[in-house]
């Protein structure tokens, strides 16, 4: 731990989710562009990458090429690739395609669960053992992502008891990790720390990850607080790719390069090269054809040299 | 203090700097538009507002109407108005115009000090007693803002000893407060806390304020850390107005509404009504005629009702 009087971990275990959570709401981009993006993320030093999702191609056209993406991942054997699934059919598809590290998403709020997956939280929770069994059969890992862990766009604040119910079942089903997701980017440090601490009490032996959005600008503040209570499994999305279909124009995930900048400046190890990561962010911008919300991408690393004579002198 | 296990203050003492730090790099807008913006900020509950700057109108045309703005502030007697100055001539002008709470800016780095104010840090520091004397004569308050307190775009990292030198002189000259400014938005929590703690040791009886930029996305994370070590005098700019002339397109100050959202969700009192503040942010956007960087302004408060049926179902 470093950074007195802030208590911070020496390193975090960053997971890049841009190729899945970032791209899923975009218009479909060519598979070749996705592979170039993956290449640039690998080159920057990322070692855990969520590559795609095995979900309905009708509902999420941007993930319709999941099989084609999966078929190319052998190029980068050093990477811990994973995929998101929303039911056991998706899990079977992913495993058939050769991806054995799966994130299974369960919304803690019924409103979001119905809208997102067409079933209640309870029904989604009941499917956990089946997915864990399928993954364990092939020697893979299964994480349960608890969506709307703090707030639901339909049901309002999510009762912590609902989250405990999901993580409790996940724990008893033998998942390798649970991940608390702030799906609409409303959580702030106090509530994050409270939920993390209470989930940790409920499932002490299961690692807890964090998936924050920056929709209201508080993404990094929330991650800082979580790091202070020992959370190291943290998601981020290159360029801040992603968003929420309920809030047009709203920024989405925490930008990977902003998280890496924050960590690097605080001497918290990420294993990532920031300069190469900014190239990957530019690749992501080119791939989707629009400016991404990352502030760091606009400003550049602080090593950037300023022009010799600025405008705006005061006197 | 609330928010276990984060140690947070019960309230912060927010200062709105959009009308000065936000607008100073913009094309000049009509004085009437500025006054409408001030009106909306007052309506939202802000009680400390930096109204303008008394600096060279040639160098900063957007602040050329400082006298006209100052002449109207009597409309809102409940507000603690202040103005920024960069030398004692500016201080005299401000006092003549009826503003007696002054921020005097001193760059801790020589490179920025020369570029910004045409003189060295030492020369700028030497002028502190003169400005304090002028302010005290009229019963006002004087704050020294230490610009480039962490990093300088010309000189690189700022030695803490240079900051201590400025705040030490400010303290001995009897200033009412010092404010540490992250002028180019590069500081992160560890360095913020370290500098705050060391400055506090140096000038124990002088209150310390904080002025962060969000240029690399870490603004609120830095403020969270500072609040955890007891900093409550915090600047922010409506809509995230502002920026840096050295980084075109880079976002600027921490957005007031994002800071208020963060505080409100953590039960830290600001005295501000978020809904009315979002109206002020919209007024700021209209005044400058472009989209401002605030994420919250794009997404809305979490009370916003989502559409009944979202796109993007997974299955």
Selecting among A142, A152, A244, A263, the annotated active-site residue is A244
With a CB-CB cutoff of 8 Å, which residues 79-108 of chain A face chain B?
Answer: 86-87, 90, 105
Nearest partner of A282 among A298, A305, A259, A306, judged by Cα: A298
B290 burial level (CB within 10 Å; 0-12, 13-18, 19+): exposed
C-beta of residue A271 within 8 angstroms of C-beta of residue A45: yes
User: What's the mean pLDDT in A259-272?
Assistant: 97
Q: Is the pLDDT of residue A153 over 60?
A: yes
The answer to whether position B72 is within a domain reads: yes
CATH of the domain at A147: 3.20.20.70
User: What's the mean pLDDT in B214-241?
Assistant: 97
The answer to whether the CB atoms of B258 and A218 lie below 8 A apart is yes
The answer to whether position B143 is within a domain reads: yes
pLDDT digits (tens, 9 = 90+) for B47-99: 999 999 999 999 999 999 999 999 999 999 999 999 999 999 999 999 999 99
Distance CA A243, CA B19 (A): 30
Rounded to the nearest angstrom, the minimum Cα separation between A222 and chain B is: 8
Predicted local confidence at residue A1, as pLDDT: 39
Q: pLDDT exceeding 90 applies to what percent of chain A?
A: 85
Residue A182's SS3 state is: coil
* ipTM tops 0.90: yes
The answer to whether the CB atoms of A246 and B310 lie below 8 A apart is yes
Predicted local confidence at residue A252, as pLDDT: 86
Is A244 an active-site residue? yes
With a CB-CB cutoff of 8 Å, which residues 124-163 of chain A face chain B?
Answer: 151, 153-154
The answer to whether position B177 is within a domain reads: yes
Helices marked H in B18-153: 31-43, 66-72, 88-96, 110-117, 121-126, 128-137
Residues across chain A: 315
Nearest CB to A246; choose among B117, B151, B306: B306
Q: Which of A56, A217, A291, A308 to mutate to test the interface with B (most CBs of B within 10 A)?
A: A217
The answer to whether position A283 is within a domain reads: yes
The answer to whether position B1 is within a domain reads: no
Domain carrying residue B294 = 13-299
Domain count, chain A: 1
The answer to whether position B8 is within a domain reads: no
The answer to whether the CB atoms of A314 and B265 lie below 8 A apart is no
The answer to whether position B310 is within a domain reads: no
The answer to whether position A212 is within a domain reads: yes
Q: Is the pLDDT of residue B1 over 90?
A: no
Q: Is the pLDDT of residue A272 over 70?
A: yes
Q: Is the pLDDT of residue A310 over 50?
A: no
């Amino acid at each position: 731990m470093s950074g007195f009087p802030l208590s911070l971990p020496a390193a975090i275990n960053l997971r890049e989710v841009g190729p899945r959570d970032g791209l899923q709401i975009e218009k479909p981009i060519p598979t070749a562009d996705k592979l170039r993006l993956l290449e640039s993320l690998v080159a920057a030093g990322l070692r855990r990458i969520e590559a795609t999702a095995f979900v309905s191609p009708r509902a999420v056209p941007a993930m319709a090429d999941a099989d084609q993406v999966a078929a190319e991942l052998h190029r980068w054997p050093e990477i811990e690739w994973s995929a998101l699934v929303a039911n056991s059919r998706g899990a079977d598809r992913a495993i058939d395609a050769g991806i054995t590290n799966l994130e299974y998403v369960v919304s803690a709020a019924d409103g979001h669960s119905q809208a997102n997956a067409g079933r209640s939280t309870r029904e989604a929770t009941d499917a956990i053992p089946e997915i864990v069994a399928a993954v364990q059969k092939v020697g893979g890992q299964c994480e349960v992502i608890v969506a709307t862990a703090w707030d639901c766009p339909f049901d309002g604040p999510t009762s912590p008891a609902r989250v405990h119910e999901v993580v409790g079942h996940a724990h008893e089903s033998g998942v390798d990790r649970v991940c608390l997701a702030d799906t609409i980017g409303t959580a702030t440090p106090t509530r994050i720390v409270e939920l993390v601490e209470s989930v940790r009490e409920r499932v002490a032996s299961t690692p807890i990850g964090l998936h924050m959005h920056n929709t209201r600008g508080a993404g990094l503040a929330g991650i800082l607080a979580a790091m202070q209570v020992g959370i190291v499994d943290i998601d981020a999305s290159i360029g801040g790719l992603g968003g929420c279909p309920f809030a047009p124009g709203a920024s989405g995930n925490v930008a990977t390069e902003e998280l890496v900048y924050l960590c690097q400046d605080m001497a918290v190890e990420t294993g990532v090269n920031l300069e190469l990561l900014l190239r990957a962010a530019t690749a992501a911008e080119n791939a989707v054809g629009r400016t991404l919300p990352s502030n760091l991408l606009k400003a550049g690393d602080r090593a950037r040299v300023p022009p010799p004579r600025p405008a705006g002198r005061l006197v």
